[in-house]
Structure 1
């Protein structure tokens, strides 16, 4: 099963040892995990050191290494240069994708995000009708920015009327930062594995954002983090302890309805990225977007 590894204790050394990521402190081993089970490594501790051979092994498996600031927002992501046997052709198709196709991609992503937001609100007993209605107003490319309209309705209901989304804040926002970092790492891995370039976004186009496409594709999955954070805050407050990190890291194993069966989030991200790559190559849009989990599952996240 895919796992996100979090390194939060200063003085740890990460190395490769016969197919395992080994964690050591003062020369003594304190833990290990099979490399093939790692979906990503998130480093918060400032005194962490890594061997070059470990970084190479993680790159071979498409597992990103995310370096975070004190507010748990990512500051750097190490990703492999190659990720797919047909990467060259797919990258050309991605770069040459026509604007109408890109606009339709973003429309479907926004609609899927709004559906997930509405399902999340319904699951936690909040009014969801106005958010649900907005999905009908999303146009090609979301030129009227319905995504932002939905966000203005969604956040006060999900997190309280006083909440403001601020990446630099140390309150609930820090928990959201961590959860989104986990999700971004898993999405980045999926993008590279699909032979796509993470900096060539569909909608996000900040010149300084090397992971614009990952930020695009993770949008429909964000409300899963929001539900988990809401549950964590209600139970334990805003502290980011080991239990909170483990709860958020486990979200990539949550089963979602995709097609005719259930698929873990990490696999759903891979299928979504792959379907986007295939859409670029064929010129015909066919995105593999999951349906929201059932209300009981959503309400239980973080509880």
Structure 2
């Protein structure tokens, strides 16, 4: 079943009763079965949430995302015991060889560059050489084809003089919000597959608690880029508002395509996470990434 995404922007009280999440504010009272919720985004500094509510959400593997004063996702609550053979999976992940991790990163970057090329062609209407760049990605991407592709991608993607920065000017704020939601969704599914988000296949910063999520989300980033591009064509706003945040949250239910089926992104991420787990156990050699367009 497709899980719901709930955005809380007004000052609210969040409690639970009979496994129902109750969100109450001055405007309305909303009740939702906790088992139906995949993501809860809290974007109001005065919102109260009870510990029983938080615990039930986490036990249900709901990703609870807390936003900061700038309305950007800042923290994530997740289940630490979400798989029945957690320790065994952790051991396989920790024991993964360097050559295996380099091969998995190569696969990931090939998918990312391929998807960037497809999207860029859709937006500009012009052919590009991203397919060629993807064939040049080595094990571990030691030749940094990711950086080569990114340089051309961002110079071409937007019409105005754009520089991709974490704290940069518009539309970086839209991209950052979308990427943060994608990161949370990826972390949730990796955790649900029993994997340790802290231990990446490429990202290694000691300060990064979600290194693996940052690795696996890479091929999916063009979904956010596409949505931000669409928003810029339809809205004149330069700041995040309720409508734009709601638009960006729609990426979680966007359809993607596997060879044998199509599925919403949040379901596809589960398949990708499960395939990564099987790579660590030796059951398969490739991560199962979907095609972003049919």
- TM-score, reference length from structure 1: 0.91
Q: Compute the displacement of 1:170 (Å).
A: 4.9
Report the counterpart of residue 232 of structure 1 in structure 2: 231
Q: Compute the displacement of 1:17 (Å).
A: 2.6
Report the counterpart of residue 120 of structure 1 in structure 2: 119
* Partner SS, residue 129 of structure 1: coil
Q: Compute the displacement of 1:72 (Å).
A: 4.2
Report the counterpart of residue 2 of structure 1 in structure 2: 3
Q: Deviations over 1:150-207 (max 9, x none)?
A: 1111112222351111222352111111111221111111001100011111111111
Structure number with greater CO (CA < 8 Å, separation at least 6) is 1
Q: Deviations over 1:103-126 (max 9, x none)?
A: 011011111111111111122234
Structure 1 unaligned residues grouped into runs of 5+:
295-303
Q: Compute the displacement of 1:8 (Å).
A: 2.1
Q: 1:70 to 1:64 in 2, by over 3 A?
A: same
Q: Compute the displacement of 1:4 (Å).
A: 2.3
Report the counterpart of residue 299 of structure 1 in structure 2: none
8 Å contact from structure 1 (residues 4, 39) kept in 2: yes
Report the counterpart of residue 218 of structure 2 in structure 1: 219
Q: 1:24 to 1:267 in 2, by over 3 A?
A: same
Report the counterpart of residue 148 of structure 1 in structure 2: 147
For the residues of structure 1 that align with 2:166 and 2:68, how far apart are their CA atoms? 11
For the residues of structure 2 that align with 1:229 and 1:189, how far apart are their CA atoms? 23
* Partner SS, residue 124 of structure 1: helix
2:126 maps to 1:130? no
8 Å contact from structure 2 (residues 257, 292) kept in 1: yes
Report the counterpart of residue 67 of structure 1 in structure 2: 66
Report the counterpart of residue 270 of structure 2 in structure 1: 270
Report the counterpart of residue 54 of structure 1 in structure 2: 53
- TM-score, reference length from structure 2: 0.94
Deviates more, 1:34-43 or 1:209-218: 34-43
Q: 1:72 to 1:163 in 2, by over 3 A?
A: farther
Report the counterpart of residue 297 of structure 1 in structure 2: none
Q: 1:284 to 1:272 in 2, by over 3 A?
A: same
* Partner SS, residue 240 of structure 2: coil
8 Å contact from structure 1 (residues 39, 189) kept in 2: no
For the residues of structure 2 that align with 1:168 and 1:229, how far apart are their CA atoms? 16
Report the counterpart of residue 288 of structure 1 in structure 2: 288
8 Å contact from structure 1 (residues 253, 264) kept in 2: yes
Q: Compute the displacement of 1:134 (Å).
A: 0.8
Report the counterpart of residue 84 of structure 2 in structure 1: 85
Aligned-residue CA RMSD in angstroms? 1.7
Report the counterpart of residue 18 of structure 1 in structure 2: 18
For the residues of structure 1 that align with 2:169 and 2:9, how far apart are their CA atoms? 17
Structure 2 unaligned residues grouped into runs of 5+:
none
8 Å contact from structure 2 (residues 275, 284) kept in 1: no
8 Å contact from structure 1 (residues 3, 249) kept in 2: no
2:118 maps to 1:102? no
